[in-house]
Amino acid sequence: MIEVKNVFKSYNGEAVLKGVSFTVQSGEFVSIMGKSGSGKSTLLNIIGGFLDADKGSVLFDGKDITSFSDKETAAFRCKETGFVFQSFKLIGTLTARDNILLPAVLGKMPVAQAEKNLKELSQAFHLEEVLDKYPDQLSGGQCQRVAIVRALAFSPKTIILDEPTGALDSKTEEEVMTVLSHYNKIKGMTIIQVTHSEKVASYSSRIIKIKDGELATEGSAVANKFMHR
Ligand SMILES: Nc1ncnc2c1ncn2[C@@H]1O[C@H](COP(=O)(O)OP(=O)(O)OP(=O)(O)O)[C@@H](O)[C@H]1O
Ligand SMILES: [Mg+2]
């Protein structure tokens, strides 16, 4: 279970998050939606342990990640929670393959298991042909898929994605969402994603809306006009 409790964040005195609280159960698939600039990426970065909140806490199964030491944060990032940044943040000096394997290696996942996951995921995401390329030799959509595969490949319990299909065409978007949905339903992975797309949100079971730094509604049901579930 993930508990976000009364999180506040300001940049240069300007309040972006004004006391955000919500809970995500293990195995849930939740979408966060809201206007550009409403604080979605700020919130995700705090939940992923990449940004400090000014106030409030974020608990994963009762453990407060805001009080983790650097060592605990490092272990959390390469063992427990996969994170896909809005800007991907691939490492430019590593090939796609090495970007994908890095968290698994840092988290000391057995090599055979990491290689198996890499093979399966790069097939599912059509990345086999580009694994030896560097990020600046990849298209935006390929970079986005490498970033998603990097977050999935070490088999984390939770995956957090910031607009995971923003750079993808609609067919690839559907394929990516189908894989994520599979990981949620079959493997019980908890997923939190930010999206502007109602279609992408329809793969999740709950939508949290953020407006002016506060939650507009917690848990509006997903409209049934798309038939993925
Ligand atoms: N590092 C920063 N320094 C100063 N201001 C920032 C910083 N990061 C974000 N902001 C500001 O905080 C607000 C929220 O930004 P955030 O990136 O969280 O929005 P968002 O909801 O993810 O938007 P989008 O849908 O465009 O990605 C914006 O006004 C942004 O300009
Ligand atoms: Mg954003």
140 Cβ inside 6 Å of ligand 1: no
Which pLDDT score, from 0 to 100, does residue 216 have? 86
Domains in the chain, CATH or no CATH each: 2-221 (3.40.50.300)
What CA–CA distance (Å, rounded) separates 183 from 101?
A: 19
Which pLDDT score, from 0 to 100, does residue 220 have? 59
Determine how β-strand 81-84 pairs with β-strand 158-162.
parallel
Residue nearest to atom 6 of ligand 1 (CA): 11
38 Cβ inside 6 Å of ligand 1: yes
Which pLDDT score, from 0 to 100, does residue 226 have? 57
Whose CA is closest to 214, among 13, 71, 70, 4?
A: 4
**pTM above threshold 0.85:** yes
Task: State the distance from the centre of ligand 2 to the C-alpha of 40, rounded, in angstroms.
Answer: 5
Whose CA is closest to 146, among 176, 190, 110?
A: 176
Ligand nearest to the CA of 35: 1
Residue 78 DSSP symbol: I
Using the atom order of ligand 1, give the atom closest to the CA of residue 43. Answer: 18
One pLDDT digit (tens) per residue for the chain, 229 residues:
999 999 999 999 999 999 999 999 999 999 999 999 999 999 999 999 999 999 999 999 999 999 999 899 989 988 899 999 999 999 999 999 999 999 999 999 999 999 999 999 999 999 999 999 999 999 999 999 999 999 999 999 999 999 999 989 999 999 999 999 999 999 999 999 999 999 999 999 999 999 989 998 655 556 545 555 5
Which pLDDT score, from 0 to 100, does residue 221 have? 59
Which pLDDT score, from 0 to 100, does residue 227 have? 53
Contact at 8 Å (CB) between 92 and 135?
yes
11 Cβ inside 6 Å of ligand 1: yes
